[in-house]
Amino acid sequence: MSDFNHYKVAYVITGKVFNETPLRVGLGKAEQLGSPTDLPVIKMRISEGKEIPYIPGSSLKGVFRSYVEKIAAAIYGLESIHSPFDSKRAESEYEDNRICAVCGIFGSTKLASHVIVKDAFPLSNTALMLKPGIGINRDFGGVQPGIGPFVEEYVPSGLEWSFGMNILNINLEDKQGEDPRPGLLKQLISSLRKGELQVGGRKSVGSGIITLKELKTLKRFINPSGEFSEIEVNI
Ligand SMILES: [Zn+2]
């Protein structure tokens, strides 16, 4: 799967993401519960004095990876998967030339990712909303006395976002089934279309359910006469 020196095929997937429920992708450090300050959503400054919320591609990719890990575990067994931060496992997979399907899609400390997920930006203006939060004890899941209340910022439900994902050198139209990666990626896309994935915080109360719509896939490849071709495909 170390095939980056050789361009075979790329799928350029675009569409729109719709958040069905309120969404909050926070700033790492400010997420500390019990912080006396309000908990803002992550924003990007687009001009002087104007900031818009966005969903970092890395957040989406993290959600996609853990979802694909779950499917891979269900199909191939738990021992087939490992934490993305398990660098020992990544190294032994690389040395034995037995890269697991999940690293073969999303990369590891030894292997570049075959998937690039772009930052998602709102397609219209939206007012953010504030919800009072309560302190949840991370170890026991219960309300932690003495923490909070504090105010969390959310993107209200019903906003449309840009979506873009590129898949490199994985043949999504593979019919032979020897490579597990096309099937895992197609399952991921199908689940995204059905609204089965959640992004951001407060998942346990149903936040961050996203649905992928208006999917369009362009396939880019070198055709047999050596020319660069681009066609629309259904995956
Ligand atoms: Zn792996």
Q: What is the pLDDT of residues 95-111, one digit of tens each?
A: 998 899 999 999 998 88
The answer as to whether 169 is a domain residue is yes
How many angstroms is it from 106 CA to the middle of ligand 1? 9
Q: In the structure, what pLDDT confidence band is assigned to residue 135 with cuts at 50, 70 and 90?
A: low
The answer as to whether 2 is a domain residue is no
The answer as to whether 74 is a domain residue is yes
pLDDT of residue 224: 85
Amino acid at residue number 12: V
Note residues around ion ligand 1 (Cβ under 5 angstroms): 93, 100, 103
The answer as to whether 4 is a domain residue is no
How many angstroms is it from 178 CA to the middle of ligand 1? 17
Q: In the structure, what pLDDT confidence band is assigned to residue 181 with cuts at 50, 70 and 90?
A: very high
The answer as to whether 192 is a domain residue is yes
Q: In the structure, what pLDDT confidence band is assigned to residue 177 with cuts at 50, 70 and 90?
A: confident
The answer as to whether 30 is a domain residue is yes
How many angstroms is it from 171 CA to the middle of ligand 1? 19
How many angstroms is it from 19 CA to the middle of ligand 1? 30
How far does Cα 122 stand from its chain's mean position? 16
With a CB cutoff of 8 Å and minimum separation 6, the contacts of 134 are 143, 147, 148, 149
How many angstroms is it from 101 CA to the middle of ligand 1? 7
pLDDT of residue 36: 44
Give the dihedral sign, CA 169/64/185/86.
positive
The answer as to whether 3 is a domain residue is no
The answer as to whether 87 is a domain residue is yes
Task: Kindly report the CATH number assigned to the domain that includes residue 49.
Answer: 3.30.70
Looking at the structure of the chain, the number of domains it has is: 1
With a CB cutoff of 8 Å and minimum separation 6, the contacts of 6 are 169
Q: In the structure, what pLDDT confidence band is assigned to residue 71 with cuts at 50, 70 and 90?
A: very high
Q: Which residue shows structure tokens 């004095």? A: 49
Structural domain containing residue 37: 9-233
